[in-house]
Amino acid sequence: MATGFAIAAGAMAVAGALGHYMARRHASGIDPGHEWLAGHAVPSPQFDYALLTLLVSVVTAHWAVWASRRGERGHTWVGMAITLVMGFAFFNMVMFSLNRMEIEIGSGEWANLAFATTGLALALLVVGMFYLGLMTLRSLGGSVGRESSTPLGAAVFFWDFAVLAWTATWYAVYVVK
């Protein structure tokens, strides 16, 4: 129940942030891409690969839940480990891309809003990774298994939401620009 409320609150925050970003982009003029980006180059392939990494992590997270419900502890641990490694790989690629873009707070409206919306989506993913890590530790301790896989399922549900929030942010900020 608490995970559902957290997802609802996060969805409202992401919707508000992206709504504000898109409203400001639309208000910047007829052709917002010209002055809106203010000389920033967006490395699309890196962000695309980061998104693909997250989508693979969703598959491995669901594999872990599936294995947990069948009492396959080894598969559960491997699935969660791969999910967490993919999460770290995602952060590595996004940080590399942001450094390559040289976004600085205060260098323009696009940079400020892109940094804020990206930061919100990344914060949700950090919370999701923490939640997944906690459930991985619980499964290592034996409290998540065939009879009690609901906590792991809740963590994966939050991870699904966080990936969806990143996908919406990626599309609005880095694809549509």
- pLDDT tens-place string over residues 126-137: 999 999 999 888
Kindly tell me if the per-residue pLDDT of 174 is higher than 60.
yes
Instruction: Note whether 9 and 124 are within 8 A (CB).
Output: no
Q: Output the pLDDT for position 36.
A: 57
pTM over 0.75: yes
**Helices and strands per DSSP (H, E), number in the chain:** 6, 0
Dump pLDDT digits (tens) for 73-127: 889 899 999 999 999 999 999 988 888 877 777 777 777 888 899 999 999 999 9
